[in-house]
Amino acid sequence: MEPPGGIALTLIMVCLTVVTGMLDAVSFLALGQVFTATQTGNLLFLGFGIAGQGGVPVAATVVSIGAFVLGAALGARVESGLARLRRPWFPVALITEAVMLAAAAAAAWQSGPARGLPPGRRYAVIGLMAMAMGMRNVTAMRVSAPDLTTTVETRAMTALVSGSPVGRDKRLGYGRHLAGRRLASVGAMFAGGLLGAGLLGIGTSPMLVIALVAATVAATAFLVPGLARRRTATGD
């Protein structure tokens, strides 16, 4: 079973982009200057930390990068294996991601702020979230939804401007009415970061925010088979 296409796939990927923003808000604001999805930022943080500048925590960054790599390897093995067997790899990947995030939420359980977690538990939360995002990146790359990587917005922002009446670059989509999808991608990441930060700001525990993301990803996974069958039936 292939993933749904068209508007359904776009909506799914936009939803996944929103929850990515929420997760990075939790990791950076509540777990301490580390990203779990945006690994470009982590690579820079690692350089800053090794140089001894900015007070960046090297250990947390290493845990996130390592877990992300592990998640990407796991995602590639699981998803490609299911695809070879003609099994529905897309919803399985999302369910696996949701399970990892639920485990991260369980590890983050406590009454106080997540920064007060013992180092071992804090690294477990960071690692599980980063593993889930590593797998997500494989999922997004396999789906190949244009401008909707769900974790990186630099290309979408570049394409949005370059393919607009401002940039007028036909090779980057000028005149093909792609601005809506690109704007949705960029806006979704911003909205996710805003929502995650807002929830933390009103006193919502990081555990609950992560659990909300896990539930959203799981719900999306359960919608995928029906949307895929609908695509097959209508020939979209």
Instruction: Write down the domain spans for the chain.
Output: 6-225
Give the amino acid at 60: A
Q: What is the mean pLDDT of the chain?
A: 88
pLDDT of residue 4: 59
pLDDT band at residue 115 under the 50/70/90 scheme = low
Asked if CATH classification 2.90.10 holds for the domain at 6-225, the reply, yes or no, is: no
Contact 36, 64 (CB under 8 A): yes
CA atoms within 13 A on the CB side of 126: 31
Q: Is pLDDT larger for residue 31 or for residue 1? A: 31
Provide the 3-class DSSP secondary structure of residue 202: coil
Structure pTM? 0.89
- Name the nearest CA neighbour of 132 among 26, 33, 10: 26
Give the amino acid at 99: V
